[in-house]
Amino acid sequence: MEKIIEVLDLHKSFPGKDVLTGINLHVNKGENLVIIGRSGEGKSITLKCITGLIEPDRGTVKVLDKDVSELDEEGLKELRCKMGYLFQGGALYDSMSVRENLVFPLKRVLGIRDEQELEKRSTEVLEAVDLADTMDKMPSELSGGMRKRMALARTLIVQPEIILYDEPTTGLDTMTSLEISKLILKMQQQYQTTSIVVTHDMLCAKTIADRIVVISEGKCICSGTYGELEKCDDDFVRSFFN
């Protein structure tokens, strides 16, 4: 299968702490890869290394056959245009309406200025996440689940090949978490995206994962389907499924 993302022997330390101590993982085209592990194990740092937001101490990150560390500013910008990043808090612009939040990346990232095209894309992506009636609302008027869906819509609107999700269901009740998980699965199928999902939510992992990677002490210690890892003999791995 075609590897869209490949991480090889990735190391990253901060003062007083070694966070990544040799991460190895890959993501195949069209796959939803879920990363699980305890807090502070480097899951989010791995995502930021993949996007080039953080530079690793050593190791290699390849995205769409490009070595991220070898890209200049223009090359990194071009690569990021093909990647969407859904932050934990959604990172919506609270001073902008839903419409303005959606139009902003279309103008800034894709350079679209035609008003009809902006309206068409905004409407389509809101319909995809079941928020068609929120176009002129402010983020403060949306519930937690609606804000998550809105953030996903803004990520999708530039039609990225890759989406990185950082704790997409954190802070949500069980029912809303399941709705967001099903929506992530729907978006994968509808837009044929390749995704990495960092989560502590095992219901989310079970719902969306094609494959799960378990991180411990800065390394990937095993990978497999939800069903395979659920039957794993390793006590640390089994602790996530109990």
Render pLDDT for 137-146 as a digit per residue (tens, 0 to 9). Answer: 998 898 888 8
Give the whole-angstrom CA distance, residue 47 versus residue 168: 13
Average predicted confidence (pLDDT) for the chain? 89
Mean pLDDT of 2-29: 94
SS3 helix, strand, coil % of the chain, rounded to 5?
A: 40, 25, 35
Predicted confidence band of residue 21 (pLDDT cuts 50, 70, 90)? very high
Domain positions in the chain are: 1-82+192-242
pLDDT at 31: 95
pLDDT at 89: 62
Render pLDDT for 178-231 as a digit per residue (tens, 0 to 9). Answer: 888 988 888 888 888 999 999 999 999 999 999 999 999 999 999 999 999 998
Give the whole-angstrom CA distance, residue 14 versus residue 36: 21
pLDDT tops 80 at residue 109? no
Q: Does the reported pTM lie above 0.85?
A: yes
Q: How is residue 108 written in tokens?
A: 């800034």
Mean pLDDT of 74-94: 83
Give the whole-angstrom CA distance, residue 130 versus residue 149: 8
Helical pair 115-128 and 98-108, crossing angle rounded to 10 deg: 120
pLDDT at 214: 95
Give the whole-angstrom CA distance, residue 148 versus residue 59: 33
Render pLDDT for 112-162 as a digit per residue (tens, 0 to 9). Answer: 888 888 888 889 888 888 888 888 899 889 888 888 888 888 888 888 999
Mean pLDDT of 233-242: 87
Give the whole-angstrom CA distance, residue 87 versus residue 41: 18
pLDDT tops 70 at residue 90? no
CATH of 1-82+192-242, one of 3.40.50.9100, 3.40.50.620, 3.20.20.70, 3.40.50.300: 3.40.50.300
pLDDT at 241: 84
Render pLDDT for 29-61 as a digit per residue (tens, 0 to 9). Answer: 999 999 999 988 889 999 999 999 999 999 999
